[in-house]
Structure formats: C-alpha cells, structure tokens
Chain A
Amino acid sequence: MTPALRGLVVLAGFVVVPAILFWLGGRAERSHGRLLSFACRRIAWLGWTALVVFTLSFFLMRAVPGGPFDDERRMAPQVKRNLEARFGLDRPVAEQYLAALGGLPSLDFGPCMTLRDFTVREIIAQGLPPSMLLGLAALAWMLLIGVPVGVLAATRRGSTLDVTLTALASLGMAVPNFVLAGALMMPLVFWSGWLPAAGLTTVDAVLLPSFCLGAPFAAQVARLVRTGLLEVLTQDWVRTARAKGLSERRVVLGHALRGAMLPVVTFLGPALAGILTGSLVIEQVFAIPGVGTHFVQSALNRDYTLSLGMVMLYTVLVYGLNAVADLIHGLLDPRVSLS
C-alpha cells in the first residue's frame, strides 16, 4: 500500500468511525445510560476535531513561506534538495498531507526536521513526563491552597483575615506567572540557596516551578470557593444541618463545602487549559526539559513534523482534560446534562 493510499484510508476512517460512534452513542443512551453515550459522543467529536486541527495546521504551515531548512546559511542547493527529498518535501502538497495523515493512527509523525536523529515520538516521550509532573504538581497547589483559603475567608467573612486573603487572591490573578517566578526566585534560590534554580532532577526542584504555575489558579479557586460557600451557607438545608446540632466544622466541611465545590469543578476545564499554556512559560523560566519549549521552538523553526505533533498532542490533551472535567461535573451534579 503506498503512503498516499494509506492516507486516504485513514482520512475516510477519521470521518466514518466517529460517525458510527456518534450513532452508537445515541442508541446507547436508551439502553446503557448516559455515561457510555457521553463517552462515545466525546470520542467521536475528538476524532473530528483532531482531523480538522491536523488539516488546518498542515496547510497553514505550508502556506506560510519559509521551510525548515531555510535558516541554515550557505547550504549548497544540492544538499538542500537532498534534505527536502529525504523528508518528502519535494512531493506535491496533497501527497505529503496524505502521507502524514497515514501515520496519525500509529502516532507516527515522522522524524524531526530540525532536531536531527530524533523522531517526533521520541521527543514527545522524553518531554511528556517532566511536563506532566509539573502540571500535576501545579494542580495540587491549586487545590491545596485554593480550597482552604476559600473556606477560611468565607467562614470568617468580613474579618481582617478575609479581607487580606481576598486581596491576596485578587493580586494573585493579576501577576503574570513569570513575574511571580522572578520575585520568588530571588529570595528562595539566589539569596538563601534553599531551592535549586533550574531543572527537574530532585523533588524540591518541582516545588517552586509548580507553585508559580499553580498560584494564579489557586487564587481563582479561592475566590470561587469563597463565593460558593457564602451562597450555600444561606440555604435552608444548611440551617437544617445546624439545627440538628452539628458542629460548625461538620456543617461547613461535611455539608456546605460539597455544594460550594461545583463552581470549582466547572472551572477545572479552563484551569487545566490555562496550566498547560502557563507551562510553556514556566518551563522556559526554570529550564525544564518538557514538551512546552519544543512547542514554541518548533513553530518558530518551521519544523513541520515536530510542530504538527505538538499541536496534535495539545489538542488531544486539552480536549481530553475538558471531557474529564465535564464528566466529573456531570457525576457530581445530576442536574447537568452530559452531552
């Protein structure tokens, strides 16, 4: 099977398989409940979305002048032609597209064009673990700081503590994460030497980068928890809980907080997308060898294969994380319809 033919088959598959899944999802709604149907539909949309993003990015990149081998000065035309032939760039664009699409199901994006001797898959495999560690740690900071601060501020409403915490939260949302990183780096890294400045080799090296990444989102979570809790605490069922003699701690933590967390779950999707975006910056600040740095560099270098791989990676990540956030929301709140 020629690469082009393979590409055509994959193209057809990306249109038809999601359609079948979608149809199955509609049927499953009646027989197997909403969870399975939700999963089917989301996966179907993911397939179509991936195809559209792939196609748009591919042709956008080719439409913009300049190729991966233009920057290297004084390259003999013969050498350049050979290089382009090696990566198949001398073929018609449609054929290149189909060939690239053909590799998509097996996650084979081909060799990197600027980082020689590496395939795109290898770059992603090397960069993903540090990036995921950073992202998860930031998520942990977001919840571990955001929720307690929000609860504290709401339960002491109007006190100096509340005013201070609320002001700090507003400030946290107003500072770009790299400015925060710079401000914290001076005392914690350069002056005292408590934390390492860069890299991700030891456990304490994760602390500062993930804090800088998660802090703005922790601020938003704190605000959401505070307003949510204040609203919930006025509800009748909270009064009932108090009336039956529960301690204030159990009323707030055991009953009210659960209701107040719903806005936080809704915020989870945008927050995850934001953490991914922020990691592009934080990875550069702390010289973390993750995928974020490659994303920006490959687009700047016109590394066709690598940047395509990166766009697809982030599309799937953002889409998948959004779907998970929606799923959690739907499971926690039966009033929300999963679609």
Chain B
Amino acid sequence: MSNAAPTRGASKSDSPGRLAWRAFRHRRSARLATAVLVVVGGLALLAPLLPLAAPSAVHLDAKLRGPTFTAIEGAAFDAAEIKDPGRLTGWLLSARVAVFGSWELPPLFGTDALGRCLLSRILWGARLSLMVGLVASIISLIIGVGWGAVAGYAGGRTDAVLMRAVDVLYALPLMFIVIFVVALLRGFRNAHPELDVNPSLVLFAVIGATSWLTMARIVRGQVTSLRSAAFIDAARACGARPTTILWRHVLPNVSPVVLVTLTLTVPRVMLFEAFLSFLGLGVEAPDVSWGVLARQGFDALTAVHASLWLIAFPGLAFALTLLAMNVVGDALRDALDPRLRGERS
C-alpha cells in the first residue's frame, strides 16, 4: 500500500516498493526459494537445449533401470521424436543438435516402464506443469481483478449482485464441476477429432476460469476501502473517467495484494493439475507433466518390485518447486503488506 508506507528509517529515496524489496531480500529463505525457482524455470525453459534424451523415446530393452551413469546401448537423440515443437522450441532443438549432435545424457534418474529417461521427462514435464500454473493463474488474475475492481468501485447494487454471485460460486463444488467438464469435453474431442482442440489449452482455461474467486474477494475488499480515499476524490474532481481512475489510480494501489495472491494461486493450480492427471483427466500423452509422472511413479509401486525412483524424483521436483513458491509468496506477503498475514484460503 503506497499510502501506508512505514516511516521508520525512511529517507527520500525509499519508495514503498524499494522498502518491500529490501524486506524480501533480507530473508534468507526467500532468497534461497527465489534461486530455486529461477533454476527450475531456467531448466524448464532451456530443456530442449540440454543434451537430454527425447522424453518420449522408448527403449524396451532398458525398462525400469535405476539411476545410473551408464548410457543405454544404441540410444541416440532424434529431434523427430519431439512432436510439433513451437518455433522457440524448434530453434532450441536445432541449436542442441548443432552443439551436441545425437549424444544424450545417460538416464541419471533411471528409466520408466517403457525405458524412457526420467530426467528428461521431468525437465520436459516442468515446462507443462509450470505453464499450467502460470496460464491458469493469469486467467484467474484477469477475471478476478476485473470482477473485484468493478464490484468494489461501483459499490451499491452492482457490488451486491457481483459479490453474491461470488458467494454462490464459492459454495458450489467447483472442483467437481471442473472434473465433470473435463471428462465431458474429452468425450467431445473423441467424437470430433477433426476439431483439433489442444487438450492442455482446455485444461488451462477450465482451471483458470474456476480459481478467480479468492482474487475477486480480496481485490474487492481493497478497492472498497480505497474508493473513499482523498486522492481518488481528487481524481474524480479533476474529471477523470471511472475507467481511468480504476486503471491509473486504484489498480496500482491494489497491485501488491494481487501479486501476493497470484504467487499463492500458482502452486494451488499446479496441485490441482496433479490431481486431474492422477485421475486420468489431465494432460494427455505424448505430453508429460509432473502430475502424469507422479501418477506413473505411483503405479510403479508394487509389493513385489518397487521402482522407488519413479515416484521419488517427480515427487521431489514437485515438492521443491511448490515449497519454493509458497515461501516466496509468504515472504512477499510479509514484505508488501504485513496486515495480510494469516489470510489465506
């Protein structure tokens, strides 16, 4: 909140943003967690550039190998294994082929039931899992902030109607409706293969469209209390239009809270993706996500033959990333707005 900046030790150059940044940087756990996220994000982004096996390359003679430094005999990277990469991915892949040729890392994390390299699948899966988290959160951000800001700024009857709608949606089993919709859409796609809808896109949209409620409530609360602030009155007196006031004056003041809520939405969404993937309703083959990998690792657990690495590595990747996100979110919240502490849902 820019109008409630702490004054202790503040000099002229101490903007609220800088103070918050300093408080954030001061925490060792926050620095560490940020570093983890940067590394995970970087690895995910640059996965095509690394000398990894193709995530879908099957080696039936190397099934369920434990983590090892010895390469699979006769394994060679073939860029054609990766089905329709985007432009950036294609470019990275050709760079990888130019540098490393067809050489690939041995399965450092072991191989799965079809002899596919787990390390490669985890790094390629990170791309999709992080993407789900980001895209769905951004969708929820747009809807939630729009909804909450309009309700809070308009007030009166509009506010009552909009927030009542949020209350009703809150009380619905949204997760169940998502599962229901995803299951039904799957049937729709099977019946119309010619439409070529990307299943992941549907997943992003459906999850995003159902996770904006908390954001709307929080933004609405903030905007309601800002609405009567003197500087808003001043802007109104100058003849600024409501859209200008919202965009230029209200939203920048809400942004810290929005940022915090967003950081805490991403891990929630990623967990939900893992749920859906476990139920077989998430990302579809040949795409991989961490949820899919954890599911396959779980399936590999039997009393007779336990391929522990298949659940341990995806589980660790998942836990580490989500933990880092939660730590960063908490640190941001404490840095930006101490009053928000303890509020989460």
- A is bound by B: yes
Find chain A residues with CB under 8 A from B208 CB.
none
B294 at the interface (CB under 8 A from A): yes
Tell me the bound Cα distance from A65 to B177 in angstroms: 18
A186 lies within 8 A of B308 (CB): yes
Q: Is B327 an interface residue (CB 8 A)?
A: yes
In the docked arrangement, what's the CA distance between A45 and B170, Å?
Answer: 12
- Whether the pair B175, A277 counts as a contact (CB closer than 8 A) is yes
Interface pair B295/A319, CB less than 8 Å apart? no
Chain A residues lying within 8 Å of B278, measured Cβ to Cβ, are 176, 178, 281, 284
A263–B184 CA distance with the chains assembled, in angstroms: 37
B293 to chain A, nearest CB (A): 10
Of B113-121, B220-228, B315-323, which stretch is located at the interface?
Answer: B315-323
**Identity of the chain B residue whose Cβ is nearest the Cβ of A224 in the assembled complex:** B342
Question: Distance (Å) between the CB of A301 and the closest chain B CB?
Answer: 9
Asked whether B184 lies within 8 Å of A319 as measured between CB atoms, the reply is no
Binds B, one of A56-64, A138-146, A249-257: A56-64
**In the complex, what residues of A have CB within 8 A of residue B267's CB?**
173-174
Q: Does A305 contact B (CB under 8 A)?
A: no
Partner of B274, one of A176, A231, A295: A176
Identify B187's interface contact among A231, A285, A302, A311, CB under 8 A. A302
Q: Tell me which residues from 224 to 248 in chain A have a Cβ below 8 Å from any Cβ of chain B.
A: 224, 227-228, 231
Per-residue CB contact flags for chain A residues 309-323 toward chain B (1 = under 8 Å, else 0) read: 011001101110011
Given A65-B191, A277-B175, do A267 and B322 touch, yes or no (CB 8 Å)?
Answer: no
User: B167-200 interface mask toward A, CB cutoff 8 Å, 1 = contact, 0 = none?
Assistant: 0101111011101110111111011100000000
B181→A60 contact, CB < 8 A? yes
Shortest Cβ gap from B240 to chain A (Å) = 34
CB of A66 within 8 A of CB of B318, answer no
Q: Name the interface residues of B304-345: CB closer than 8 Å to any CB of A.
A: 306, 308, 311, 314-315, 318-323, 325-327, 330, 341-345
- Residues of chain B with a CB closer than 8 A to A307's CB: 180
In this assembly, does B88 line the interface, its C-beta being within 8 Å of a C-beta of chain A?
Answer: no
For chain B, the count of residues having a C-beta within 8 Å of the partner chain is 54
| B103 at the binding interface (Cβ < 8 Å) | no
Min CB–CB distance B283 → chain A (angstroms): 14
Beta-carbon contacts under 8 Å, A155-202 to B? 170-171, 173-176, 178-179, 181-183, 185-186, 189-190, 197
Question: Within 8 Å of chain A (Cβ to Cβ): is B301?
Answer: yes
Bound CA–CA A178/B168 (angstroms): 30
Please, which residues of chain B bring their CB within 8 A of the CB of A276? 173, 175-176
Question: In the complex, what distance in Å separates the CA atom of A266 from the CA atom of B298?
Answer: 34
Asked whether any CB of chain B lies closer than 8 Å to the CB of A39, the reply is: no
Q: Is B173 in contact with A318, judged by CB distance below 8 angstroms?
A: yes
- Interface check B51, CB cutoff 8 A: no
Q: Of all chain A residues, which has the CB nearest B277?
A: A176
Contact partner, B183, options A183, A228, A300, Cβ 8 Å? A300
What are the residues of chain A within 8 A of B183 when measuring CB–CB?
296, 299-300
Q: Which of A270, A281, A311, A319 contacts B279 (CB 8 A)?
A: A281
Q: Are A190 and B306 in contact (CB under 8 A)?
A: yes
Q: Is A49 an interface residue (CB 8 A)?
A: yes
The reply to whether the CB of A53 lies closer than 8 angstroms to some CB of chain B is yes
B279 contacts A49, CB within 8 Å? no
Q: Which residues of B contact A273 (CB under 8 A)?
A: 173, 175
Tell yes or no: A261 within 8 A of B by CB.
no
When distances are taken between beta carbons in the complex, the residues of chain B under 8 Å from A208 are none
Within 8 A of A (CB), among B28-47: none
Interface SS of A by simple majority: helix
Q: Is there a chain A Cβ closer than 8 Å to B1's Cβ?
A: no
Chain A contacts for B257, CB-based, 8 A = none
**Which residues from A are CB-within-8-Å of B187?**
64-66, 300, 302
Check A311 against B298 for contact (C-beta < 8 Å).
no
Q: Across the two chains, which residue of chain A brings its CB closest to B326?
A: A170
Contacts of B170 in A (CB 8 A): 269, 322
Q: For the complex, what is the distance from the CA of A266 to the CA of B179, rounded to whole Å?
A: 25
B172 near A319: Cβ-Cβ < 8 Å: yes
CB distance from A232 to the nearest CB of B (A): 10
Do A176 and B342 have beta carbons less than 8 Å apart? no
Of all chain B residues, which has the CB nearest A185? B301
Interface contact B341-A179, CB-CB below 8 Å? no
**A49–B319 CA distance with the chains assembled, in angstroms:** 37
CA A178 to CA B184, docked complex, whole Å: 24
Asked if A280 CB lies within 8 Å of chain B CBs, one says yes
Determine the chain B residues whose CB is within 8 A of the CB of A190 once the complex forms: 301, 303, 306
Q: How far is the CB of A15 from chain B (nearest CB, A)?
A: 16
A interface residue numbers (CB < 8 A to B): 45, 49, 53, 57, 60-61, 64-66, 170-171, 173-176, 178-179, 181-183, 185-186, 189-190, 197, 220, 224, 227-228, 231, 263, 266-267, 269-270, 273, 276-278, 280-281, 284-285, 295-296, 299-300, 302, 307, 310-311, 314-315, 317-319, 322-323
What are 5 A-B pairs with beta-carbon distances under 8 A? Answer: A65-B191, A174-B319, A179-B318, A220-B344, A280-B279
Apart from A266-B345, A281-B275, what are 12 other A-B pairs with CB-CB below 8 Å? A64-B187, A64-B191, A65-B191, A185-B301, A186-B301, A267-B345, A300-B183, A315-B173, A315-B176, A318-B171, A319-B171, A322-B170
Mark B residues whose CB is within 8 Å of A. 168, 170-173, 175-177, 179-181, 183-188, 190-192, 267, 271, 274-275, 278-279, 281, 291, 294-295, 297-298, 301, 303, 306, 308, 311, 314-315, 318-323, 325-327, 330, 341-345
Closest 6 CB pairs of A and B: A174-B322, A299-B183, A65-B191, A227-B342, A179-B315, A318-B173
